[in-house]
Structure 1
Amino acid sequence: MKARAFWLPLVGLSVFLVLNVADIAVADDDDPPVSVLGAEATVTVSPEAVTKSGIASARPSIVPWRKLVPAYGYVLNATQLITLVSDYADMKARLESMQAQQTLARAKLDRDKGLYRDRQNISQEQFQETTARFQSNSAMVKAEQVRVNNALNIIRQQFGSVISDATEKNTIFITQLLQQQVVLVKVTLPPDTDLPTPPSQADVTDYGNTGGHGTMLHYLSPVTMTDPAIQGRSFFYFASAESQLVAGMNVSVLLPTEEERPGIRIPASAIIWLQGKSWIYRDNGHGKFTRLPLTTDVPDREGGYLIQDTPGQITHETQIVVERTQLLLSEEFRAQLESGDDDD
């Protein structure tokens, strides 16, 4: 059967991309240029060609790897919280102004009380007016204190004690929130999943339909109310406003657990993308390179991805191609095309 193909530019070359690898016949030579076993394709390249083209292989580095829990993220519209925090700040400023006036009124009352009691240097009417002003100031201070406490309680009920305490102390986070330098993300676990201790950091792995990843989230506090649609535990995280996160966005989040295992780092230079999937080439030695699928669930902040050892596939002892990987893919397609033409 003749393979169907279309042109695809790869590293300055034009090669045929075979759409149906399973239909390609394998050559009968002892070392065919491309052999296909299941989903794996092995390319055979002469040692001279490997050296001349600059194809280089190396063992992936070992890195700590933690079991990851997938979760649902929703970027909150912080307008309500910003309004509540701003209202609280205004009320607190008024309260402090009233308290200052009350301090002055108390001092005047004490002074007038002495003047009236000792020698009656002021009239009874003046003393009564001073007393009334002090009592009026005291009543206004108490009323404003109630409003301030109520405003703080509303923040506590809706966003938790951590955010309400930060509001009361006017921390750096609150300043950043008011200046829109950070965004809030509500992260919800699946209903059958629990984390005894939420991690201090988490990774956004997908921005809805945009395909972005790599934004770091920082833990803030538990959420006081669960998501009615998911019914899992929820947490507040925040990220820099310079990230690609915007209000109303649904994102995928990975939360690392405390269970740490050895993992390996696959550098970006080793990865090729084909038909929406990621692949790497394993160097089998003697000029043979096998294309293997790569799991991209855990992006590496330095580029590339982190994976666990997979015996029989990729381990920390596996030699993988880290330079000129695209040339191997070009050679694979070229050899497959020639093999298909020979079957005509």
Structure 2
Amino acid sequence: MKARAFWLPLAGLSVFLVLNVADIAIADDDDPPVSVLGAEATVTVSPEAVTKSGIASARPSIVPWRKLVPAYGYVLNATQLITLVSDYADMKARLESMQAQQTLARAKLDRDKGLYRDRQNISQEQFQETTARFQSNSAMVKAEQVRVNNALNIIRQQFGSVISDATEKNTIFITQLLQQQVVLVKVTLPPDTDLPTPPSQADVTDYGNTGGHGTMLHYLSPVTMTDPAIQGRSFFYFASAESQLVAGMNVSVLLPTEEEHPGIRIPASAIIWLQGKSWIYRDNGHGKFTRLPLTTDVPDREGGYLIQDTPGQITHETQIVIEGTQLLLSEEFRAQLESGDDDD
């Protein structure tokens, strides 16, 4: 087998492509040399072309990296919870009003009791009316207290003690919920997966078919009922209503584990997408740039992705191209096309 070399123009300067394939080939004597190493593509660029084309390389920054557990997310319609919380608030307000009336009735009863016993300054009939009014108020307070407790128990049964306690204390979260400033997300683990402690934060990595990612979820409480379709442990998380999460939306969620490892951040400018996969170019020095696959399991909120620092692959000491990756890919494609034309 004979390999044909090809010379490429890049910013008016000399460029040739080193394509690594499975077989080793020897270039023609009148062609530039082509080295063959495995299955990676290496673009070789003259120093002048690197400078003129604005190709820049740098070492990736070091960041903490944690293994992530994928989970299923469903954005809940909070109408039912909002209705329950609103009903509870109304009942609680009525109860407090009745309790205030009962306090006044108690004070009047104590006063009339003293007047009746002190030389009967009020009639027996007046004293009996005051007593009956107090007893009626007491009965209404007890009945309303039962309704308030029942309303709170319904919230506890359907949404857990954390949300019911927040409702009872009227926390900031409840205020935000009633004002529709937050959305609830039910996050369910796969059936064969468990987390001893759910993380305080999680990331939404995909909005259904929109491809969005980077929304942060905040842990709220465990879910009281198992999802019948998945049969995994579930948790309530919440996010800002500005996150564009809409009720009824299915999302992919990543939950970080507690185990931490050294990691590196790959900026968005360093990443190219080809045939549904992501790649970066490693700067080998002397104008040689090798395209390497990149895992995209962990998106970075600042853009790009986080990966584990893996010796022998991509590490914090690897020089990666952060500017000019699309130019290198274009030159690689052009070389492949010219190589095909030469073979014909």
Does TM-score exceed 0.5, indicating one fold?
yes
C-alpha change, 1:21 and 1:240, in structure 2 (3 Å) is farther
- The CA deviation string for residues 8-53 of structure 1, in whole angstroms up to 9 with x for no partner, is 9999999999999999999657996876756521111111111111
Question: Could you tell me how far 1:272 is from its partner in structure 2?
Answer: 1.2
**Would the aligned equivalents of 1:57 and 1:319 in 2 still touch at CA under 8 Å?**
yes
Gaps of 5+ in 2: none
Q: Which residue of 2 aligns with 1:147?
A: 147
Cα distance between partner residues in 2 of 1:84 and 1:198? 26
C-alpha change, 1:58 and 1:20, in structure 2 (3 Å) is closer
- The CA deviation string for residues 69-102 of structure 1, in whole angstroms up to 9 with x for no partner, is 1111111110010000000000000000000000
- The CA deviation string for residues 216-259 of structure 1, in whole angstroms up to 9 with x for no partner, is 00000111111111111111100000002111111111111110
RMSD: 4.2
Cα distance between partner residues in 1 of 2:17 and 2:178? 53
- The CA deviation string for residues 198-226 of structure 1, in whole angstroms up to 9 with x for no partner, is 11000001111111100000000111111
TM-score scaled by structure 2? 0.90
TM-score scaled by structure 1? 0.90
**Would the aligned equivalents of 2:207 and 2:250 in 1 still touch at CA under 8 Å?**
yes
Question: Could you tell me how far 1:313 is from its partner in structure 2?
Answer: 2.7
- The CA deviation string for residues 127-185 of structure 1, in whole angstroms up to 9 with x for no partner, is 11111110000000000000000100110111111100000000000000000000000
**Would the aligned equivalents of 1:27 and 1:339 in 2 still touch at CA under 8 Å?**
no
Q: Which has the higher contact order (CA 8 A, sep 6+)?
A: 1
Aligned length: 344
C-alpha change, 1:5 and 1:148, in structure 2 (3 Å) is farther
Cα distance between partner residues in 1 of 2:122 and 2:7? 103
Q: Alignment partner of 2:254: what SS?
A: strand
**Would the aligned equivalents of 2:203 and 2:216 in 1 still touch at CA under 8 Å?**
yes
C-alpha change, 1:55 and 1:229, in structure 2 (3 Å) is same
C-alpha change, 1:208 and 1:246, in structure 2 (3 Å) is same
Question: Could you tell me how far 1:310 is from its partner in structure 2?
Answer: 3.3
**Would the aligned equivalents of 2:21 and 2:38 in 1 still touch at CA under 8 Å?**
no
Question: Could you tell me how far 1:195 is from its partner in structure 2?
Answer: 0.8
C-alpha change, 1:264 and 1:26, in structure 2 (3 Å) is farther
Cα distance between partner residues in 2 of 1:239 and 1:2? 60
Cα distance between partner residues in 2 of 1:259 and 1:248? 33
C-alpha change, 1:330 and 1:3, in structure 2 (3 Å) is farther
**Would the aligned equivalents of 1:10 and 1:326 in 2 still touch at CA under 8 Å?**
no
Please state if 1:224 is matched with 2:224: yes
Cα distance between partner residues in 1 of 2:28 and 2:2? 17
**Would the aligned equivalents of 1:66 and 1:259 in 2 still touch at CA under 8 Å?**
yes
Q: Which residue of 1 aligns with 2:209?
A: 209
Cα distance between partner residues in 2 of 1:111 and 1:192? 69
C-alpha change, 1:233 and 1:206, in structure 2 (3 Å) is same
Cα distance between partner residues in 1 of 2:104 and 2:5? 89
Gaps of 5+ in 1: none
Cα distance between partner residues in 1 of 2:33 and 2:230? 52
**Would the aligned equivalents of 2:43 and 2:289 in 1 still touch at CA under 8 Å?**
yes
Cα distance between partner residues in 1 of 2:331 and 2:86? 63
- 67-76 or 329-338, which deviates more: 329-338
**Would the aligned equivalents of 1:206 and 1:212 in 2 still touch at CA under 8 Å?**
yes
Question: Could you tell me how far 1:275 is from its partner in structure 2?
Answer: 2.5
